[in-house]
């Protein structure tokens, strides 16, 4: 028995979703993306698949076993990571969807997300460095001065210089407003930062020649709370006159966290100003505008973290399916000798659940990336506004739903292996351990649900959420046209329940606790239902194309998974009384 399976890029399904759910042809018809024709996109995905399968995926297990280390003040990544990253930079994978102006390839975000999926499924720990750099580059692009963009973006886009988000402090986790790091103005026009940041992913490492920290701190005299936070560019090495990495700055990694998963990714405690009176930082955007800048970076990252949930589930599914095709255990009904476990109905149910979950997540994520593309580059202002609203509404949903479901799906993968799944040597446990961080970082999923019900539902006076739900309703007719009566019934019920839940929460504006009490089940309901509508669209497209496996997974999701969405309505409507019926001391 092979044990740990290789990663095979699911190019057929990626292309199907890009064509039929994310509207690739419509995107590449836009002037901004006109160079990115179908043949070019296909070649990018083919080459990306070869790159990660040959070079990145084999490092997933060895990186987990070795982990990163801090030796003599230097962070060292596992064997093979440094060479793989060097080759990534040389091949230009870091700038797939970045503008030509800064050295990118200016592909649609949908294509960038597809490439991101390949790297993330192949090796989640390795891919995080790219994710963070891309998100930080977006913040510099939107908020930086021309001088800052010229100094940093070309090397951030290529990946020659990586980047981080330095937000969290020991006393300030999700409550960013509680941070204490200080930034003192200096005579040279820059600032000197002092303090400590924790949980800084790739805060230091040996793969890139420089690390650019986008750091939140307070300028003396700024207001308390989130209103008094500014963002600073703080390089590990200050750029020299030629634009290369010059003298070391006054910040360093003082320890690495010992984690449940993503062990190959160095998670650093960073100390600022410990040795030379303060780390040199340059204000990004205006003073006290750090929260705005942070959300530019964070919202980009949140979609990518949602992708991490799906990508971990894809890798777990591939391994579980490979195991089930080889493992003999028990006799299937009618068999005369021990059967492959894939012949048992319960194992079939688990594998179909895993695969249809992955496909529903992929469809919703790629559709969200399509909204991102059109919100920026559609020639019509009204169309840009619509897609911008869709992007805002779906960002917390895909981050929360896809990461929760990624953990659940990876857990099913362990179950398919049985007792062997609980043994580290098979590798199934790593996918679950790696996935478990995704519901936590870049804003816990509870925070995503709060954002959804408190900020996104009230958009346009609460009308837009209803408009978006209505835009999903034609998918029901698609099921009916296929003769999928139960699937149509299930999707219709989920949409009606989602509309009712939306109206209920909007009517609870006078009692925040009642709205907040329903936030998490509502967010889950929203993800399941929107994902179900995408699966219905996929099923109709698959029927037209003669794609039988996609029809099977779409129908399975709609008939056997989606009914759970409507069942969440009572939890959304229950209010806060039950949550506060027991005093804190009794927990």
Query: How many CB atoms neighbour CB 575 within 10 A?
Result: 16
Q: What pLDDT sits at residue 1? A: 42
Buried b (16+ CB within 10 A) or exposed e, 362-379: bbbbbbbbbbbbbbebbe
Residue 64 lies in a domain: yes
Q: What is the pTM of this model?
A: 0.97
In sign, the C-alpha dihedral spanning 194, 197, 202, 206 is: positive
Q: Which of 253, 288, 323 is the last residue of a domain?
A: 288
Per-residue model confidence (pLDDT) at position 230: 97
Instruction: Give catalytic residue positions.
Output: 442
Instruction: Look at residues 104, 199, 115 and name the one whose alpha carbon lies nearest to residue 156.
Output: 104
CA–CA separation, 217 vs 32, rounded Å?
36
Single residue among 256, 273, 288 that ends a domain in this structure: 288
First to last CA, the chain: 47
Q: pLDDT tens for residues 425-474?
A: 999 999 999 999 999 999 999 999 999 999 999 999 999 999 999 999 99
pLDDT, tens only, 197-219: 999 999 999 999 999 999 999 99
Residues 6+ apart with CB under 8 A from 518: 453, 501, 504, 505, 508, 571, 572, 573, 574, 575
pLDDT at 2: 45
Of 288, 314, 348, the residue at which a domain comes to its end is 288
Rg (CA), the chain: 24
Place of tokens 């399941």: 528
pLDDT on residue 177: 87
In a domain, 34, yes or no: no
Write the DSSP assignment of 279-317 as a string of letters.
EEEEEESSTT-HHHHHHHHHHHHHHHHHHHHHHHHHHHH
Element at 353 (helix H, strand E): helix 345-377
Q: Is residue 1 part of a domain?
A: no
Domain assignment of residue 530, yes or no:
yes
152 belongs to a structural domain: yes
Give a yes or no: residue 70 inside a domain: yes
Q: Please provide the size of the chain in residues.
A: 587
What total of structural domains would you count in the chain? 2
In a domain, 453, yes or no: yes
Residue 140 belongs to some domain of the structure: yes
DSSP annotation of 226:
G
Give the residue ranges of the chain where pLDDT is below 50. Answer: 1-2
For 73, the domain range is: 58-91+123-288
Query: What is the reported pLDDT for 555?
Result: 98
Quick one: pLDDT at residue 416? Answer: 98
């Amino acid at each position: 028995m092979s044990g740990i399976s290789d990663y095979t890029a699911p190019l057929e399904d990626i292309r199907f979703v890009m064509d039929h759910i994310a509207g690739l042809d419509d995107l590449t018809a836009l002037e901004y993306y006109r160079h990115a024709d179908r043949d070019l996109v296909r070649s990018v995905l083919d080459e990306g698949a070869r790159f990660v399968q040959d070079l990145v995926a084999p490092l997933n297990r060895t990186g987990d076993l070795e982990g990163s280390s801090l030796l003599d003040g230097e962070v060292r990544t596992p064997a093979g990571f440094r060479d793989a990253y060097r080759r990534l930079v040389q091949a230009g994978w870091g700038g797939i969807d970045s503008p030509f102006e800064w050295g990118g390839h200016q592909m649609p975000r949908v294509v960038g997300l597809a490439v991101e999926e390949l790297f993330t499924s192949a090796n989640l720990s390795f891919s995080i460095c790219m994710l963070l750099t891309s998100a930080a580059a977006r913040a510099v692009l939107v908020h930086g001065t021309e001088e800052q963009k010229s100094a940093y973006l070309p090397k951030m886009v290529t990946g020659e210089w990586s980047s981080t988000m330095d937000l969290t402090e020991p006393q300030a986790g999700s409550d960013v407003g509680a941070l204490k790091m200080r930034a003192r103005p200096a005579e040279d026009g820059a600032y000197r930062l002092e303090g400590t940041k924790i949980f800084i992913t790739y805060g230091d490492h040996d793969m890139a020649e420089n690390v650019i920290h986008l750091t939140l701190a307070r300028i003396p005299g700024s207001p308390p709370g989130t209103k008094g936070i500014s963002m600073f560019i703080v390089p590990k090495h200050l750029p020299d006159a030629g634009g290369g990495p010059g003298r070391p700055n006054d910040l360093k990694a003082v320890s690495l966290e010992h984690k449940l998963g993503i062990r190959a990714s160095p998670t650093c405690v960073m100390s600022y100003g410990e040795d030379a009176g303060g780390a040199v930082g340059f204000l990004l955007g205006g003073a006290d505008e750090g929260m705005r800048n942070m959300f530019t970076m964070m919202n980009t990252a949140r979609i990518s973290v949602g992708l991490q949930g799906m990508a971990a589930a894809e890798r777990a599914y591939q391994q579980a399916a490979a195991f089930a095709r080889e493992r003999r255990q028990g006799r299937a009904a009618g068999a005369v000798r021990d059967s492959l476990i894939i012949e048992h109905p319960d194992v079939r149910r688990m594998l179909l659940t895993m695969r249809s979950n992955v496909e529903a997540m992929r469809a919703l994520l790629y559709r969200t990336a399509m909204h991102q593309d059109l919100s920026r580059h559609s020639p019509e202002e009204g169309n840009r506004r619509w897609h911008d609203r869709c992007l805002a509404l779906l960002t917390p949903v895909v981050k929360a739903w896809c990461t929760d479901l990624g953990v659940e799906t990876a857990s099913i993968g362990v179950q398919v292996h049985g007792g062997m799944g609980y043994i580290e040597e098979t590798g199934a446990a790593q996918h679950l351990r790696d996935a478990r961080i995704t519901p936590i970082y870049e804003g816990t999923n509870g925070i995503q649900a709060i954002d959804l019900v408190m900020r996104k539902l009230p958009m346009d006076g609460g009308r837009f959420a209803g408009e978006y739900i209505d835009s999903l309703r034609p998918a029901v007719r698609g099921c009916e046209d296929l003769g999928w009566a139960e699937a149509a019934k299930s999707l219709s019920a989920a949409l009606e329940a989602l509309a009712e839940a939306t109206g209920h929460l909007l009517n609870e504006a006078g009692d925040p606790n009642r709205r907040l009490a329903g936030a998490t089940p509502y967010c889950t309901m929203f993800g399941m239902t929107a994902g179900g509508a995408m699966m219905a669209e996929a099923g109709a497209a698959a029927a037209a194309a003669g794609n039988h496996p996609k029809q099977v997974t779409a129908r399975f999701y709609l008939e056997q998974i989606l009914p759970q969405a409507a069942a969440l309505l009572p939890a959304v409507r229950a209010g806060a009384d039950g949550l506060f019926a027991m005093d804190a001391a009794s927990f």
